Chain A
Amino acid sequence: MLPLLGSNRQPTFISQIPNPDRRDSPKMDIDPLPNGGPAAAVAAAAVAATNAPSSKLSRLAESLKLEHQLTRVPFEHLKKSMRANHRVVEKEVSAVVSAVSDAANAPGEDDAVDRLSSLVSRLQGLKRKLEEGSRTEHLQAQRCRARLDHLESADPENLSEWSNTRLKRIVVDYMLRMSYYDTAAKLAESTNIQDLVDIDVFLEAKKVIDALQNKEVGPALAWCTENKSRLKKSKSIFEFQLRLQEFVELVRAENSMRAITYARKYLAPWGSTHMKELQRVMATLAFRSNTECATYKVLFETKQWDFLVDQFRQEFCRLYGMTFEPLLNIYLQAGLSALKTPFCTEDGCTKEDPLSQECFRKLAMPLPFSKQHHSKLVCYITKELMDTENPPLVLPNGYVYSTKALEEMAKKNNGKIICPRTNFGCDYSDLVKAYIS
């Protein structure tokens, strides 16, 4: 009663399926990639070849590879503490060494003993500091390990709790980047994931950001000094930008003499590489803060401070090996694109589809639609996937539902089928099977 053809005939002729990737195939010359340029087509083909439907395990492995930030940030934090602690030791030891040389010139014996005693207590202080530093380092190293353990604990058979934690981590990251520190702390605490999020790292950024928002560059400059060698390595000009702003503020305050002294001291060293910016900002001395000249007016605008905040955030993220964008935005964007189909905006869209909601649609608007290489049919009635276990059946009017749903309907209705979308009626025996490959 059902199919016109026995399903056992399918495999025999499988070799006749035209290969869609072969452009010279006689039956088709349809471009397999309607969008993107030729480079995209080649790249897509290369990726598609390796993107076979993956097992749970490899899917999990792929998802864990996205966790670079989780492992990198605590390590950078640890590295920073180690370097800083070492610098303290070096400084102190070299001070003690030179103080010992000086002591040789002590005018009297008592004086010499005093000097040496003060060195002894200085060394004792250093030892304490060293121990303290080592304790911090130890905690930070533990955190690095905790993250690796967490990655290891992901069990492909029981992922729901792990995935929940991942979502929370991603949301905490968003809170920290958007400066919603209270929520970040609260969420981390209430779900006990403090070791998996970087609240303390971001508190360091908070100090600088708060100050910049108050139009103070002090903490930002201090931060630059702290990270001098690494900023230099990445060719950062953040410090220069801060100096420019400070200069502009002196000009705004009509403090020309101080501005010039400041420029000699702090701007001139950048002249060899950034002459243009330097010249431009020097010209503000002539134009002053009430200028209407667009080139210079913009330098006096308050949004320059917002720009500095942004700039700082970028430098900060780079230093710690974080993405510039909040993780949430990256995951949301990828997820929205993958879920976006032309059907999401139709009336019958199920509530379980995030894109049935207005706010999600709004976010997805500028994003591309998903692309799939395999048919996946969802039964309109049961919302279940139609596959070989539960194959699709076609009503005479062309509407398709799952075997399960139609069998159920026939059982309740004495073998009668009524199409829920068109009210078309027929017998169960009128249905034909459709083969979807």
Chain B
Amino acid sequence: MDVNPIKDAFDRVAKKQKLSYSKTQEVIDQIFQEISDTIEKIQNTHKSDSRSDYKALLADLKTKIKEMAPLTLLEGTQKELNVALSKYPKLLEKSFNPDISKAYRNVDLDTATVNYIIASHFYRQGLFDVGDCFVTEAMEPESIASIRSPYVEMYQILEAMKSRNLEPALKWATSNSSKLKANGSDLEVKLHRMQYVEILQSGIRDEALSYARIHLARFAADHFAEIQKLMGCLLWAGKLELSPYPDLLYPANWDKLAEELTRQFCSLLGQSFESPLGVTVAAGVQALPPLLKFMNVMWGKKQEWQSMKQLPVPVELDDEFQFHSIFVCPVSKEQATDDNPPWLMPCGHVLCKQSIVKMSKNLSKSFKCPYCPTDIDSGNCKALYF
């Protein structure tokens, strides 16, 4: 989207605004000047004792100001400004979608639920101050307390890691060792490795060795090669950057480790790694444009929109939003369901059952695969489970 034409249009508004300001100032200055002059003249005539009439001067002033027609001047500048002021919003309406609520269905989102989701989001993002403020302002603190405390712990661990202190992380990983293993995560060994490297790089070889004996040895079964490499590092204590493994010192390793820890921590909490609110809103951002396009065509038929069981237009989200396998029959364009499952034909192509039933005249005849010239005997098709 090109923002420049909008910027230019806004600059025109700003220019007119400046012009109007300086003209207004001019008008005021002029009146100011005329009145001040008149005062001076009246006072001067008084001093010189010439009996010229102050009334004449006042009448003079009145005519002058009347000739100046300040109100007409002001009106004129305002008119010019108004043109710019009414043009700009029209451009905005043309450049943007002027009303994204056209795609909104009038079903109330339950406020308490939305608030709960937002509060969880704040805590998940580590915005504890904002979260607490929100909870006091909008909801019952008890309902959310159980969400808050684990995230406090998580952010304490992450904060410590930022200042290169692995103790809290190791403590947490050790006490959740079996759960982490069940998750298929080797976070624990990664943390110990990092700790070992830190000790080694500080130059205390003996301490590093004894740390490895206590903490790394027990991972030998699954991480044999890795541990060999770490032992090799002992030769370069205090100067790992010169060793064949300088990658062990990359600062990015800390970021990766922190991410991995966050992922595992959330997973053990039964929560997602990404904020679900963030994911849903991001999906909404991608879904709205096609929905709005549809609504613009459909305008006036809102009734149908309110009662639909499935969105009327396909909404393609990016891959990151794909959490489930969706099979769309390439013939009927319908999504597979339990009643209409995907069937694999002997040639390797897949259609939905109903399409195969139709093409085979109720499974009575062989038919040609729509993708390749193979003759398909419906008896040789089988259901797939994704």
Contacts and interface: CB of A to CB of B under 8 A. Distances in A.
Interface in B349-386: 349-350, 354-355, 358-359, 368, 370-374, 382-386
B280 A339 contact: yes
A337 B129 CA distance: 32
A35 B313 CA distance: 11
Contact of B385 (A182, A324, A399): A399
Contacts of B99: 68, 323
Interface residues of B, number: 147
12 contacts: A34-B310, A60-B1, A120-B35, A130-B24, A335-B287, A338-B315, A366-B105, A367-B105, A373-B328, A432-B344, A434-B350, A437-B349
A214 interface: no
Interface string B24-41: 110111011001101100
A353 B323 CA distance: 6
Interface string B334-355: 1101000000101111100011
Contact of A43 (B21, B276, B312, B384): B312
A96 B61 CA distance: 12
B348 A20 contact: no
Contact of A333 (B78, B105, B137, B373): B105
Contacts of B267: 351
B217 interface: no
Which 6 residue pairs across A and B have the least CB separation, nearest first? A335-B284, A331-B284, A354-B276, A338-B287, A68-B96, A335-B283
A388 interface: no
Chain A interface size, under 10 / 10 to 19 / 20 to 34 / 35 or more: 35 or more
B104 interface: yes
A357 to B, nearest CB: 6
A136 B218 CA distance: 68
B43 interface: yes
Given A5-B372, A44-B312, A96-B31, A116 B78 contact: no
B231 interface: no
B133 A183 contact: yes
B383 A398 contact: yes
A285 interface: no
A123 interface: yes
B38 to A, nearest CB: 6
Interface stretch (B151-159, B203-211, B234-242, B293-301): B293-301
Interface in A314-357: 321, 323-325, 327-339, 341-344, 349-357
A187 B13 CA distance: 32
A18 B333 contact: no
Contacts, number: 461
B308 A82 contact: no
A44 B291 CA distance: 10
Contacts of A93: 27-28, 31, 70-71, 74
Contacts of A104: 55, 58-59, 62
A410 interface: no
A203 to B, nearest CB: 15
A86 B15 CA distance: 16
A357 B297 CA distance: 34
A269 to B, nearest CB: 27
Contact of B100 (A174, A330, A369, A374): A330
A44 to B, nearest CB: 5
Given A187-B127, A334-B291, A368 B311 contact: yes
A109 B101 CA distance: 67
Contact of A28 (B10, B35, B54, B332): B332
A3 B129 CA distance: 58
Interface in B141-176: none
B385 A330 contact: no
A164 to B, nearest CB: 8
B324 A30 contact: no
B312 A36 contact: yes
Contacts of B66: 97
Interface in A53-107: 53-54, 59-68, 71-72, 75-76, 79, 82, 86, 89-90, 93-94, 96-97, 100-101, 103-104, 106
B78 A86 contact: yes
Interface stretch (A144-152, A215-223, A243-251): A144-152
Given A16-B371, A170-B281, A359-B116, A190 B127 contact: yes
Contacts of B65: 97, 100
B344 A398 contact: yes
Contacts of A336: 280, 283-284
Contact of B38 (A59, A116, A342): A116
Contact of A334 (B129, B287, B301): B287
Given A10-B371, A36-B312, A186 B288 contact: no
Main secondary structure of the interface of A (DSSP, over half): helix
Contacts of B284: 330-336, 338
B289 interface: yes
Interface in B241-294: 266-267, 270-274, 276-291, 293-294
Interface string A132-155: 001001000100110010011000
Interface in A17-51: 17-18, 20, 27-28, 30, 32-37, 39-40, 42-44, 46-48, 50-51
B350 A435 contact: yes
B271 to A, nearest CB: 7
Contact of A113 (B25, B42, B285, B317): B42
A109 B326 contact: no
Nearest to B269: A351
A398 B345 CA distance: 11
A433 interface: yes
B309 A59 contact: no
A335 B279 CA distance: 8
B314 A372 contact: yes
A253 interface: no
Contacts of A354: 272, 276-277, 279-280
B220 interface: no
A436 interface: yes
B337 A371 contact: no
Given A112-B42, A331-B285, A372-B316, A339 B382 contact: no
Nearest to B122: A187
B185 interface: no
A363 interface: yes
Given A180-B137, A338-B284, A5 B293 contact: no
Interface stretch (A192-200, A254-262, A287-295, A376-384): A376-384
Interface in A365-409: 366-378, 380, 385, 392, 394, 398-400
A210 to B, nearest CB: 14
A137 B54 CA distance: 42
Contact of B347 (A4, A48, A54): A4
